[in-house]
Amino acid sequence: MRTIQPHLQAIAYASIAALALLALLSSHWWAGELAGQMQFDARLLPPSTAHWLGTDALGRELWARTLAGLGLSFWVGCLAALLGTAIALSLAILAMLSPRLDALVQLLIDTLLSVPHLILLLLIAFALGGGLHAVIIAVATTHWPSLARVLRAELLQLRQAPYIGISRALGKSQGFIVLHHFLPHALPHCLVGALLLFPHAILHEAALTFLGVGLSPSQPAIGILLADAMRYLSGGYWWLGVFPGLGLLLMVLSIERTATLLRRALSP
């Protein structure tokens, strides 16, 4: 029986993802201008050869707006995921140091997890006055608890491993053990955690923007596009909602898939 080797599959996947990423990240330069350009003689046109994904109510090209929106979302997702992971990792390591700190960290995790996600998100973004930085901070500060909980459990289990005790008996300091035993063990989990956090961050960025406390309406974010599309949906202008939504879905799914592959590859 011939099957594609799993490692080749992973490589193929990674190269496709890298290509898509490149297109997204560079979209700002070659589609950014087009995304804001209004053509008043071409308003609300359905997809055709001239207008690939159709145009919106102000005659702007939807494909350019979708790409630019995805690019923007990607940045927001990246920053929020990184920030959230950093918070989770530092708290998990803090929890290792003493039982009292551990109790404190756990209390924090439980408190944050018990409050509904979106409400907290809205409150923080609102308090920070909206805009790009508010979205990133709000998403990061609400998304770390589940990852912190996983990391803490992982490290607690590791602390019981004989080789940690042996390292201590061989005269290694707490700092050495954290740096050379705990951190290398936690990093792959962090990487996967960050990648899994990423789609969440993007979705919530879109949600916040959709609800009006996120990015400003002039920026071509996916949330803005979708909010816009809502107004025209009853008029039968389906492409306004379908294409940005599909783009978002594809991006989220492909990142999720990459994370799954990565987790499989990294677990020894």
Partner 1 sequence: MLEACQIDFAFTAQPPLLKSVSMGVNAGEWVGLSGDSGAGKSTLGQLLAGYYLPHSGRVVVDGEKLPSRGIKPVQWLPQSPELAVNPRWRVSRVLNEAWMPPDALCRAFGIKPDWLNRLPGSLSGGELQRICVLRALAPGVRYLIADEISTMLDPITQVELWQALKAEAQTRRLGVLVISHDTALIKRLCSRHYHLKRGQLEDC
Partner 2 sequence: MLRIEQLTLELPYYPRWWQRRFATHLDQLSFSAAAGSLHAVVGASGAGKSLLAHTIMGLLPANARLSGQCFYQETLLDAKRQRHLRGRHMALIPQSLNALDPLVRTQRQVSWAANRSGLAHKAAWQAAGQALNHYQLDDRAGRAYPHELSGGMARRVLTAMAHAGQASLIIADEPTVGLDPVQRDRVLSALRSLAHQGKLVILITHDLRHALPIADHVTIMHQGRSVETAPASAFTGMGETLKSAYAQTLWQALPDNAFSASEIIHKKEESVA
Site membership for partner 2, residue 3 (CB under 8 A) = yes
Contacts to partner 2 from residues 7-36, by CB under 8 A? 7-8, 11
Instruction: Rank residues 146 and 167 by Cβ distance to partner 1 and give the closer one.
Output: 167
Site membership for partner 2, residue 5 (CB under 8 A) = yes
Site membership for partner 1, residue 8 (CB under 8 A) = no
Instruction: Rank residues 5 and 218 by Cβ distance to partner 2 and give the closer one.
Output: 5
81 CB-near residues (< 8 Å, 6+ apart): 140, 143, 194, 195, 197, 198, 201
Site membership for partner 2, residue 267 (CB under 8 A) = no
What is the CB-side half-sphere exposure of residue 178 using CA atoms within 13 A? Answer: 14
Site string for partner 1, 184-213 (x = CB under 8 A): xx----------------------------
With beta carbons less than 8 A apart as the criterion, state whether 74 and 202 touch.
yes
Instruction: Rank residues 172 and 263 by Cβ distance to partner 1 and give the closer one.
Output: 172
CB of 185 to partner 1, least distance (A): 7
Phi, psi of 60 (to 5 degrees): -90, 145
- Round to whole Å and give the CA distance between 79 and 200: 12
213 CB-near residues (< 8 Å, 6+ apart): 122, 125, 126, 130, 134
CB of 266 to partner 2, least distance (A): 13
Site membership for partner 1, residue 169 (CB under 8 A) = yes
- Round to whole Å and give the CA distance between 200 and 105: 23
Site membership for partner 1, residue 175 (CB under 8 A) = no
CB of 11 to partner 2, least distance (A): 7
With beta carbons less than 8 A apart as the criterion, state whether 242 and 230 touch.
no
With beta carbons less than 8 A apart as the criterion, state whether 79 and 204 touch.
no
- Round to whole Å and give the CA distance between 255 and 120: 25
From candidates 57, 172, 219, 256, binder to partner 1 by CB under 8 A = 172
By a kind-dependent CB cut-off of 5 to 8 A, residue 172 interacts, out of partner 2, partner 1, none, with partner 1
Angle (CA) 229 66 12, round 5° = 135
With beta carbons less than 8 A apart as the criterion, state whether 125 and 208 touch.
yes
Instruction: Rank residues 14 and 183 by Cβ distance to partner 2 and give the closer one.
Output: 14
Which region, judged by CB under 8 A, interacts with partner 1, from 28-36, 75-83, 109-117, 164-172? 164-172
Residues that bind partner 2 (CB under 8 A): 1, 3, 5, 7-8, 11
Residues that bind partner 1 (CB under 8 A): 161-163, 165-167, 169-172, 181, 184-185, 268
